[in-house]
Structure 1
Amino acid sequence: MEVGVLGPVSVPVPEGATGPGKRARALLAVLALAGAEPLTDDELVARTWPTPPPDPAGALDTLRAQLVSYLAGPLTTDADRFVALTAESHFDEALALWRGEPLEDVRDTTYLEAQARRLTELRLTALEDRLDLGVREGRSAELVDEVRELVDQHPTRERLWGLLMTALYAAGRRDEAVSAYAEARETLADELGIEPGEALQQLLTGMLRNDAEPGADDAAPQPRRRARIPALTSSTFGREALTAELADLVVRDDVRLVTLTGIGGSGKSRVATLVATAVEQQFAEAVFLPVTEVVNAQQLAVEVALALGADPRADLADALAAFGADFRGLVVLDNLESMTDGSTVVRRLLEASAGLTLLVTSRLALHLPGEHERPVPPLEVPGTADRRDTIAATPSVRLFADRATSAEPSFRLEGREHDVAEVCALLDGLPLALELAAARVKLLPLDRIIDGLRTSLDLLATGATGIPERQRAMTTAIRWSYDRLSGDQQLVCDRLALFERGFTIEAVEAVCPDVDGVVEALAAIVDARLVRATPSRAEVRFVVLGTVRAFARARLFARADLMSSRARLASYLTGLAHASAGSLHGTDGAIVQARFDDDAADIAASTTWALEAGRIGAAVELLLASLSCWAAAGRFNEALGLTQRVLDAVPAQGPDAARLLAAAAMLSHQLTDHEQTRSYGRRALDLAERHGDRASAAMAQTFLGAELVLAGDLADGVPLAEAGAKGAEALDLYPLARQALSVLAMGRAIAGDLDGERRAHEERLELVRAKGDLGGTADALNTLAEIALDEADAATARVFAAEAVDLAGQRLPPVTRDATITLARAAIVEGDLAGAADRLADALPLSERLGQSLSLAQCMRVGACLAVAHGDADAAVRLFAAAHVLAPPPGESEVPFEQDLAAGLAEARAALGEQAARAAWTLGSALPLAAARAQLVEQLERVSSPA
């Protein structure tokens, strides 16, 4: 008996009888498709039911009883007839057997869904074979539309693209055939992140070698359509700022070559299209050319000439010169890395015409003179714990939701935000991966997609015709490796999920004291390829593969020892933080800071866990032990947020509150939040004195004193700072003693005792050098550089500040930022305006990243002095005013206390006159921060590019 599977499952039904039910039809289909393959009852149940019934054996017997008349003889399928007919090239007869989607009424089990995909593949192959035969029989013209329709339905099937190219070419539509290859290449890159296969490439090569239409005069090349910028057929998300930045760059007269780099699937081609579209009207010609592996430099040069409308037979320079001296053209070369000699043609084009600007996408930079390389980053990814509205507004989520709705119109983001956020996090915001995952919503629910991504990203390598069975079983592959570990090795593997971003062997030993031979266990896990080594500046570290971590996390959370494992990790990190604080300012400071950078995510996560688990004391100790490292790294915002959370959990009048309030005062001071610092400082000092906590009292005195000194209240501020200095010295609190000396020096400077200020900083320099504190030495040198500027000794200031930058480097961003600003000031005094602009361009992003308003205000003041020196007094006064609103100088005076900055303001006001200067100050005071920043950047660009 034949069972119909090329559509809904169908079987002969006697007149007047009722046909088998859905599950019975599913069993018939399973038996018919198995053919002579013997199946156990367990296999039959697994293939017939989505989930096993309560009594599998009884349910199977019931179905067999219902189907007894159908099971009397052997079963065949209409698919068997289909295969036999296609083997004899009877394609029309074979395709007529199809009644709809295969097994469409029973494909709710893994097995039957896989069979349906197999049958669909057979049908597509038969369609391709029929069309191939028709083209070879000379019916290309009449088949083009049919092939195009199939390509649109199955855009990732290379054979269909090849048939379309062949049919177009044979029909005399050569240009369209070549364009079809470019379209195929772009589609395959967007959908699968791959290049066309060898067959398509060879097909294109044959077409390119024949420059005439089939049947035309072989000696006369035919004109080609210009390579216009492609129109995007789907929405773009999260690329507005990058597109605007690149558009501004591409239209600059001094920019000839911009290269967009990034891994495959990062969205380089899309960004290039957006940029080209945005600037198209500013060029006489703007063309977009996909580059293929089969095109050499000479051929590509010809393609560019043809696209621009130049004579491809002439020398390239002569051809482009015909456009005239004022000609400006934009050429986009997409995926240039596919050519081995791509940089050669780029160099030729740049040399051939000064009017050409090239926008190139490539996985690698070209390393040509004048190249402006810009990486194309992944899209922003939300935290899975973020609010729903925050998640929904994130670019990666918006992209996923848009593509998912296109694939399955019934898809809705509302109510699924956190699931989508998890998908985006698993895929790291990579646009291609997000689009491929979103396309799966028409086949799989979100939870199934998430499960698949947790087990393997190979899920995303599938074509649009379905997901191969082997790539939906990566959980089995992980479990296969996991099950071959010993019991102790499995325990270690599970506990590796405790670590947020990698771990050391020592850390694993700390959380696995109950395991003998932790190193050997870890070696076995590495050998099983469940863990890999990861680069680190400090020590050897490892990281769990993302899919494996998700697998291990589920097992870890089910373990009874989860809480004790977390407690051991928190205890280990606390001990490590205490040791780090003791050596942070010594000769090993760089290594200590690098280790903290590696462990910071674990410290934050463990602090949060301790709070949520009610282990408040552990949270307090871990946070305070790591405080100096948070501060040295310039991560004040993160540290303050953690401190405030822990502070909320301790008794408001207890001794822990005093320690935490003093820490909050220090962090708020670094963030230049004056009001908050004074509040925290006063509360900390009151509680510390009440509990006899001398260390917290000294910290509160130092930073509260600093705030009062900055506000011009020397009478109260200096005595507090002096008390803080004495307390720090008595308790051997080195970092605090160093800070207190800075505050005292600042007080002397504000009081007009400049010699006293210098002596205090020289004393501080001796202290930090004796301690071997490179960061402290760099900071003291920068301060002495600032003093030298006040004394009009720019040369000494430059030497001191340059040494400070070298010492601080990337390890101490706050010091590097301040010393870089000082170098910019020194350069202005010495007349090196371009050098000052470069230095300030380095300092500005550092100031913004570290979140300190004072340093950002200083960047604006230095930029104002740059504007004065460049002849723009009006812009200078506006920037001075905006800086004053952001962070006024001590005493609330409009005039900066730094002599060079004060001189710059005076010069600008004098140049404008009193009335115009007042107007400029009023306008600058009203500028939003973003507008003030834009004016600063404009000044830097003007100085850097005076033309």
Structure 2
Amino acid sequence: MRYGVLGPLAVWDADGRQAGVPETKVRALLAILLTHRGGPVPADRLIDDLWEGRAPGGPLNTLQTKVSQLRRVLGRDRVVRQAAGYRLRVEAGDLDAEVFADLVERAGADRHPRIRARLLTEALELWRGEAYADVADHAFARAEIARLAELRLAAVEDLAEARLELGEHRALATELGALVERHPLRERLRAAHMRALYRAGRRGDALDGYEDLRNRLADELGADPGPELCALHEAILRHDPGLAADPTAAQRPRTNLPAPPTPLIGRAEAVAEVRALLSPVSDVRLLSLTGPGGVGKTRLALAAAAGLVGDFPDGVLLVELAGLDHRSTAEDVAERIITALGLCDAAAADSDSDPLGLLSWLSTALAGRHALFLLDNTEHVVEAVATVAAALLGAAPTARILVTGQEALNVPGETVRPVPPLDLPEPGTCDHGSGAAGSGAVDLFVQRAQAAVPGFALTAGNAAAVAAICRRLDGVPLALELVAPRLRVLSPEQIAARLQDRFALPTGPVRGRPPRQRTLRAMIDWSWELLGETEQAVLRRLAVHADGCTLRAAEVVSSDTDIPPDQVLDVLTRLVDRSLVVRDGERFRLLESVAAYCTERLEEAGELARVRRGFAGFHAEQAESADRHLRGPEQDRYLAYLDAETVNLRRALDTALREADASTALRLVNGLAWYWVLRRRLPEARRSLRAALGTDGGPAPARATAEAWSAALDLWEEPIDRVGDPRLRSRLRWFLGAALYRSGRRDAGRRLVDGALAGARTAGDHWGQALALAERAEHHLEADDPASARRDAAASAELFRALGDRWGLLRADRSRARLAELDGDHALAAELLGGCLATAEDLRLWVEVVETLTRLGRTALAEGDPQRARLLHERALRVATDHSYTRGETQAATWLDHHAPPADDTPGPYPTGAGTTAALAEADAGT
């Protein structure tokens, strides 16, 4: 049973039907028991409260009669007699007042205004009127009514403040007016209303509100407004910029969910169920959508997740696992999540050199985060995903995980929802041309048919054939989507007939596959056989790409002596038209089941090994080419390219390792080494270099290079001397020297950097010289030699500027900013650091963003602008928190704690950054 006291007394049974409680005294008895929230009430207390001093004759017997009547409604076991009296057995969640209090408490403990607003709204929606409305005139209810009324008003004030943080001041300016009239002396409510009015451009009304309160307090209580309201009044008078709305507070959370290419058909109820299960107010934290390939698990998950973006301030993120090898570990899955979150640089900056700590680091980083992770295509890595999910459930109670796969994870706390095919029309309903429309399968087929054949419509003449097609394909969405374009050349009746003939034939080995998977395979068989040899060859070769491919990749990997590269585009176009290949921006992708099918066809054709080698070789070439562009004006473009190709590059390396192709493996890791360093994916770099070096063979120079990179990452010098290329040798000496210097081995670090500079000059390597000079400038600063530091930093900046390397210029300008600070030229320091910040943000170097913001904050404080300094540190704290950069969080929070504003200042408490205001936008513009 559930009980409602937030309004007229109500009782609902397990099915949600309201149960009638007869007779006024029986309802009053229930109300008394509910006010004690499950505690015992002595019989004499019940008699006094029920009859208020006018007890009937034989009061105990009369009371027992009322108890019996109540038991007939609720059940005998619900009203319990004990030595201490009667009590109502109330379980957790049975009483709406307790649910309300729990939601309010959860909101108060949350740092995100969007989550607080959601929880508080949910809590206030439980109210159906005044508490205990139908027993409000009884003395026993007055204290509880007053308590609940106060909690309600406090929740309304909490909600108003949360909505102010979200920038909803215009709506609040109107909504709070009526509430203030009913409760004119509540200072907190008045303060929220004044802030809303001020931000809505109604400064005069805000000041009038303060005067109204001041006069009422003086007349009715002989008192003055409190110090907080007085401070707010003064801030309004002086147009304090701290009162403006924080433009960043209401920004939508981060998400990488792709936009759906077509509407989702026939899944409205399923989408609503998934969203309800994963909402912040639900207890479900891990939801697995299971089903055969092609049934639409991913589309359903994406549609549901897209509707939850506003509920998860820390992001709703897709983590695609299809590109992982079946041998992948929990650490590999954790690394994918870290990459999706954009935490690679923070993980590298905070963690030690042991890559086995990634899962533990991720678990710590996600503690307290309100994020939703969609782990897609898990069936081949189910054990690894189960390990990660179990770890995250234990470490991150406010995070949610949505999983798609062909089987459940089978971990504690998992909720499983099988995804069925779309519903089909009932047999016989379409025989006379009616009854087909309205089923999900028919609606999807018709919609896709109309996209393929303009003007197609479901009619009395074709309804039976369309229904037959949907039944023979068992309502599997992928099957329907692939068959619908055949209407360009076949009628619905012809398609239905061909499906009938084909499905009567064996479709090959089917042991272990569910029936609908056999149907899907038969359908793909049929679509495959309608293709020409050239189309079949290109399609099956596309299956080697783990995460889609560019046109260039398709041209290289899918071509051969019979299919020149310049013909691949025409073939791809035809395959896209047939819905066998999906165009996604500049990339081409295969649907999940089509990719699995084409891999089998590739193996049957005897091409699997050759095409995989071509795929790995192509990506090795691309990695080497991109590496050459990471040190010049196209740096941002090639960083983005390597980001987009990460999954394919990993598969290329896995392929080379599986084939024991040492040459390709070494090319890949050497080509990616600098990218890994820039992105701070040092655990991946160490692991990949060691794996490549574990394969026998390969060119000696490539092996020496990989050994040197691996050694430098492990702070070991000797292998660097064996590198033949003098430019690379000096660059590696710089890299190791810088690492040693920062690890405390300063003499060794300085020696290596000086040697790197000399080697770069000898080799004519301007980029290497610029690197070493930037590092040496830092060494001179530490040694209190500003003149030498100024010379080296200026020379480094000039070289990097000429080369167009923005990352390098950031390094040099960082030293120049320190020198400007030493000279007392804070304006120049701020200008240089502003350029560094813009570069770091453009290149998505989040550790550099945090460090630069804190530097800018200290510069602002030195210039006598503590408010700007505070705003910059608050922003640094937010970025560090978002990207789990622990050191940055600590630095920013420590500064904020030590530079807290005075009591009458408007910014809120630290370290949450809740006091950030619109002045942050001004700070951003200045940097």
Using the size of structure 1 for normalisation, the TM-score is 0.48
Using the size of structure 2 for normalisation, the TM-score is 0.49
Q: Which has the higher contact order (CA 8 A, sep 6+)?
A: 2
